[in-house]
């Protein structure tokens, strides 16, 4: 009788580390954490909530939007990973993801090539404080990293995820991780433009 390969090893490198695609996502998350820390360093709540114009998000709204969005995406991603493992959806890298999903991820990268109106479910509340937003942002980044490591062994292309905002938008697990990073970079870039505005308050 042929010995069955341990499926949890099928995506791992020989030393048990994450495969290149997931390593890249981990590196991106660490860079995002550092960028966010640099962005808010020395700010007070007035600066954090300052808007350059009516209808333009503040730094607080940009970060809160990321918290709201990620808190809705993460349970879906976790469920997809566990569902994939239970169904035996394992595979070997490299994975080949669909063209449309890859295009959408690239479109999300900053600087924005096209504006998107945030779906109502992802609209951030106003008037949040640094004390409430920042720890939550960092906690979520750590949770994303945990999901990335949990996905090691999963088939990153075959496992599909529907967006919490629209069931019509379906991406692979690998694309979903890439989209989270691109979306965070987009809004951190947006927040940086607010901080760079000539009228940004000095105190």
Work out the mean pLDDT of the chain and round it to a whole number.
92
Distance of CA 63 to the CA centre of its chain: 12
Residue 12, pLDDT above cutoff 60: no
pLDDT number for residue 135: 98
pLDDT number for residue 166: 81
Question: What CATH number corresponds to the domain at position 84?
Answer: 1.20.120.450
Which residues lie below 8 Å from residue 100, measured CB to CB, with a gap of 6+?
none
Q: What is the average pLDDT across 54-72?
A: 97
Asked, for residue 53, whether it belongs to a domain, the answer is: yes
The domain tally of the chain equals: 1
Q: What is the average pLDDT across 46-71?
A: 97
Task: Name which of 128, 153, 142, 149 is nearest 40 in CA terms.
Answer: 128
Residue 5, pLDDT above cutoff 50: no
Q: What is the average pLDDT across 21-50?
A: 98
pLDDT number for residue 10: 43
Q: What is the average pLDDT across 141-149?
A: 98
Do 140 and 32 form a contact (C-beta atoms < 8 A)? no
Residue 155, pLDDT above cutoff 60: yes
Residue 165, pLDDT above cutoff 90: no
pLDDT number for residue 114: 86
Distance of CA 8 to the CA centre of its chain: 24
Comparing 11 with 66, which gets the higher pLDDT? 66
Comparing 9 with 75, which gets the higher pLDDT? 75
Q: Which two tokens stand for residue 21?
A: 């695609």
- Can you give the pTM of this predicted structure? 0.90
User: Element (H or E) spanning 184, and its range?
Assistant: helix 173-196
Residue 2, pLDDT above cutoff 50: no
- Residue whose token pair is 């009788």: 1
CB burial of 11-37 (b: ≥16 within 10 Å; e: otherwise) equals bbeeeeebbebbeebbebbeebbebbe
Other C-beta atoms within 10 Å of 70: how many?
A: 20
Asked, for residue 74, whether it belongs to a domain, the answer is: yes
Asked, for residue 94, whether it belongs to a domain, the answer is: yes
Asked, for residue 120, whether it belongs to a domain, the answer is: yes
Asked, for residue 119, whether it belongs to a domain, the answer is: yes
Asked, for residue 1, whether it belongs to a domain, the answer is: no
Residue 1, pLDDT above cutoff 60: no
Identify the three-state secondary structure at position 99: helix
pLDDT number for residue 117: 86
Asked, for residue 12, whether it belongs to a domain, the answer is: no
Comparing 4 with 113, which gets the higher pLDDT? 113
Asked, for residue 3, whether it belongs to a domain, the answer is: no
Question: What is the domain range of residue 37?
Answer: 18-196
Residue 161, phi then psi, degrees to nearest 5: -135, 130
CB burial of 151-185 (b: ≥16 within 10 Å; e: otherwise) equals bbbbbbbebbbebbeeeeeebbbbbbbbbbbbbbb
């Amino acid at each position: 009788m042929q010995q069955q390969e341990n499926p949890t090893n099928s995506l791992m490198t020989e030393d048990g580390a994450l495969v290149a695609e997931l390593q890249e996502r981990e590196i991106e998350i660490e860079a995002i954490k550092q960028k966010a820390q640099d962005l808010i360093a020395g700010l007070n709540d007035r600066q954090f909530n300052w808007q350059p114009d009516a209808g333009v998000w503040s730094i607080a709204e940009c970060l809160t939007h990321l918290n709201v969005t990620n808190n809705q995406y993460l349970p879906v991603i976790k469920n997809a990973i566990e569902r994939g493992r239970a169904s035996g959806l394992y595979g070997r890298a490299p994975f080949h993801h669909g063209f449309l999903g890859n295009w959408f991820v690239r479109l999300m990268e900053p600087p924005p090539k096209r504006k998107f109106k945030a779906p109502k479910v992802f609209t951030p509340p106003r008037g949040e404080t640094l004390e409430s937003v920042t720890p939550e942002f960092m906690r979520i980044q750590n949770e994303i990293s945990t999901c990335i490591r949990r996905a090691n062994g999963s088939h990153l292309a075959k496992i599909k995820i529907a967006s919490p905002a629209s069931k019509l938008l379906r991406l692979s697990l690998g694309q979903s991780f890439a989209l989270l990073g691109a979306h965070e970079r987009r809004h951190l870039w947006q927040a940086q433009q607010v901080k760079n505005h000539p009228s940004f308050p000095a105190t």
